[in-house]
């Protein structure tokens, strides 16, 4: 199955309130690693060599410090179009919301205690 189609299936299987997704990508033809890296640089893929996986990609749903899901789909579609076969593995998916409270002027100990109590 194509990488972009696999990614679409992964995103479709997530609940509507998902916030972050971490995926690992591996290509089968390692001699074309540099070609694939050019396409994946548009989504800030992190080079990664643990257990033969090549890149880690952080994906954000509606907001966050990661690549948007449509951008990741586009980069993976470029890999498919270039004839680069590979695999995707989901490493972590997070969902839900985090409470946001203004903590201006509060000491760091109060902030840490607040985070410890309300950690998800």
Query: Which pLDDT tens digit goes with each residue over 26-78?
Result: 998 888 889 999 999 999 998 876 667 889 999 998 777 889 999 999 999 99
DSSP string, 49-84: -GGG--EEEEEESSSSSSEEHHHHHHHHHHHHHTT-
Counting beta carbons within 10 angstroms of the beta carbon of residue 57, is it exposed (0 to 12), middle (13 to 18) or buried (19 or more)? buried
The pTM assigned to this predicted structure is 0.77
Cα separation, 79 vs 86, whole angstroms: 9
Query: Which pLDDT tens digit goes with each residue over 68-109?
Result: 999 999 999 999 999 999 999 999 998 876 666 788 888 999
Mode of pairing for the β-strands spanning 18-27 and 55-60 = antiparallel
pLDDT in the model for residue 117 = 82
């Amino acid at each position: 199955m194509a990488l972009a189609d696999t990614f679409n299936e992964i995103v479709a299987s997530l609940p509507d309130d998902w916030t972050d997704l971490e995926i690992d990508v591996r290509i089968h033809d390692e001699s074309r690693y540099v070609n694939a890296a050019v396409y994946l640089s548009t989504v800030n893929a992190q080079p990664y060599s643990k257990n033969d996986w090549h890149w880690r990609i952080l994906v954000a749903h509606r907001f966050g410090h990661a690549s948007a899901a449509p951008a990741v789909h586009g980069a993976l579609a470029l890999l498919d179009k270039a004839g680069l076969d590979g695999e995707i593995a989901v490493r972590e998916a997070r969902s839900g919301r985090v409470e946001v409270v203004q903590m201006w002027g509060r000491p760091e100990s109060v902030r840490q205690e607040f985070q410890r109590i309300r950690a998800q």
